[in-house]
Amino acid sequence: MAEWTSAVGAAQLARLLSSQQDRPAGPGSRRPPAYRALADGIRLLVLEGRVPVAARLPAERELALSLSVSRTTVAAAYEALRGEGFLESRRGAGSWTAVPAGNPLPARGLEPLPPEALGSLIDLGCAALPAPEPWLTRAVQGALEELPPYAHTHGDYPAGLPALRAMIAERYTARGIPTMPEQIMVTTGAMGAIDAICHLFAGRGERIAVESPSYANILQLMREAGARLVPVAMAEGLTGWDMDRWRQVLRDAAPRIAYVVADFHNPTGALADEDQRRRLVDAARSAGTVLIADETMSELWLDPDVRMPRQVCAFDPAGSTVITVGSASKAFWAGMRIGWVRAAPDVIRSLVAARAYADLGTPVLEQLAVNWLFGTGGWEQAVEVRRAQARANRDELVTAVRRELPAWEFEVPRGGLTLWVRTGGLSGSRLAEAGERVGVRVPSGPRFGVDGAFEGYVRLPFTVGGAVAEEAAARLAAAAGLVESGAVGNAEAPRTFVA
């Protein structure tokens, strides 16, 4: 039995390697030998999760042809990786990626740090805030009071609790979008909603258009479902979508699905205006593309003078084009794994029927807690607290980063939870690796792109403030110093933060 579980082709590996942008060498600095640069590039791809662990690498001759280097260079790079524990080989089975003993497996998404690691690392990987209290406790207490009648049933509600479906429908109707409970399905978070939609509408090999950049975990979900991702570049700054590019992609690629975040886009923080929303819905309808509108950030405007555009589904009155996804996880708490889908009744019926082969349903107690929040006004109060917390964190993080890293460039978004930062020519992958050494965890830009894009970016969430934000920026500056000095990739470089 082979020790590898997947394979990376020579052309694919060459594209991934070419996406890694090194900072130009300064006067008097020395570039590493070609084999060393190749070994470092492959190692970074493994540490980033862009090349999986236990993935078979191409043969030396094949990779040498794709990279236009000598076979000796590839052989030396492979040997260096074997010596460092990042490659294993067996005659007849080839060579496959690995991680050295004691190293954690690279995260392929943006999983939060385990609680026991939070004392030694500042976690800028997960865009989630602590629960807003006392509303979480009150919601759970309210749910417990409502639980007894449901406890006398089987507890299996594939479409969601009728009371919560009706409540969510009423909230859409109150915002000028008439909605029936039959148009709502409650899911296990937004990820569960989008996973169900992708399985229903896009089989393996189907094209899915995505913003570029886009949310890393959704991109990974779609890749693992076998989708062919078609990236569509965002407009400059925080101005939303580039509609000329969207029209071209929808016309030429005819994707089965398009996934967008119109409200405080993750990771850039952009807010699409009403005209962009109307035009994108019209273009998707003409192309026969199902448009998934992710609204998980829609209530997180941070500046009081922000005027929110109408929801994307407001421009699809027939309900034939737009499927809306919402969630309690970003606006309230990530531990409240309640999401929902708003779509045409026939789509909801199909999603519910398919759920029998997936997760069957969403926990009843958590649904009752969200229903309590919606029905008592607790949701609005908790979200207002969340906005104030995120606003303060944003302002303090921005001040700290501008002071410690003046060469880094970004625009300050007016909502959401993330800052998309251009790193002054430094490799985001190398910054992420160096950050682990100095005690700050930060996701690099390529996690949010398709096939290696955005190497010169990192994403910083508004999850820390005050002294922690200042320390995080100082550690990022230390990580940048390691990258600039060439220490990243040196086996003798320190791997722990020294206070």
pLDDT in tens, 309-335: 999 999 998 889 999 999 999 999 999
- What is the pLDDT of the chain when averaged over all its residues? 89
Q: pLDDT band for 144, please (50, 70, 90 cuts).
A: very high
User: Three-state DSSP class for 447?
Assistant: helix
Question: For the chain, how many residues are written?
Answer: 499
Q: pLDDT band for 119, please (50, 70, 90 cuts).
A: low
Percent share of the chain, pLDDT over 90: 69
Q: Is the pLDDT confidence value at 99 over 90? A: no
CB 222 within 8 A of CB 199: no
Is the CA virtual torsion 104, 127, 50, 200 positive or negative? Answer: positive
Q: Is the pLDDT confidence value at 118 over 60? A: no
Q: Is the pLDDT confidence value at 90 over 90? A: no
Q: pLDDT band for 5, please (50, 70, 90 cuts).
A: low
Residue 249: name the closest of 299, 301, 210 by CA. Answer: 210
Residue 241's DSSP bridge partners are 234
Q: Is the pLDDT confidence value at 427 over 90? A: no
Q: Is the pLDDT confidence value at 267 over 50? A: yes
* Straight-line distance from the first to the last Cα atom of the chain, in angstroms, rounded to the nearest whole number: 47
Amino acid identity at 119: G
387 Cβ partners below 8 Å, 6+ apart? 300, 301, 302
Q: pLDDT band for 106, please (50, 70, 90 cuts).
A: low
Mean pLDDT confidence for 434-443: 92
Range name among 153-157, 248-252, 359-363 with the lowest pLDDT average: 359-363
77 Cβ partners below 8 Å, 6+ apart? 35, 36, 38, 39, 42
Q: Is the pLDDT confidence value at 375 over 60? A: yes
User: Tokens 């998707």 label which residue?
Assistant: 284
Mean pLDDT confidence for 381-392: 96
pLDDT at res. 489: 52
Mean pLDDT confidence for 69-77: 95
- The model's pLDDT over 269-298, given as tens digits with 9 standing for 90+, comes to 999 999 999 999 999 999 999 999 999 999
Range name among 104-108, 182-186, 475-479 with the lowest pLDDT average: 104-108
pLDDT at res. 109: 43
Mean pLDDT confidence for 137-161: 95
- The model's pLDDT over 172-181, given as tens digits with 9 standing for 90+, comes to 999 999 999 9
Task: Give the Cβ contact number of residue 5 at 10 Å.
Answer: 11
pTM for the full predicted model: 0.82
Q: Is the pLDDT confidence value at 410 over 90? A: yes
Mean pLDDT confidence for 485-496: 51
Q: Is the pLDDT confidence value at 123 over 70? A: yes
Q: Helix, strand, coil shares of the chain as percentages rounded to 5?
A: 45, 15, 40
Residue 313: name the closest of 284, 346, 338, 286 by CA. Answer: 284
- The model's pLDDT over 208-246, given as tens digits with 9 standing for 90+, comes to 999 989 999 999 899 888 899 999 989 988 999 999 989
Q: pLDDT band for 100, please (50, 70, 90 cuts).
A: confident
- The model's pLDDT over 38-64, given as tens digits with 9 standing for 90+, comes to 998 898 888 766 787 778 899 999 999
Q: Is the pLDDT confidence value at 496 over 50? A: no
pLDDT at res. 446: 86
Q: Is the pLDDT confidence value at 352 over 60? A: yes
Longest dimension (CA), the chain: 76
Q: Is the pLDDT confidence value at 27 over 50? A: no
Task: Give the Cβ contact number of residue 56 at 10 Å.
Answer: 18
User: Three-state DSSP class for 492?
Assistant: coil
Q: pLDDT band for 495, please (50, 70, 90 cuts).
A: very low
State how far the alpha carbon of 69 is from the alpha carbons of 43, 61, 64, in Å: 18, 10, 5
How far is the C-alpha of 420 from the C-alpha of 411, rounded, in Å? 8
119 Cβ partners below 8 Å, 6+ apart? none
How far is the C-alpha of 449 from the C-alpha of 210, rounded, in Å? 9
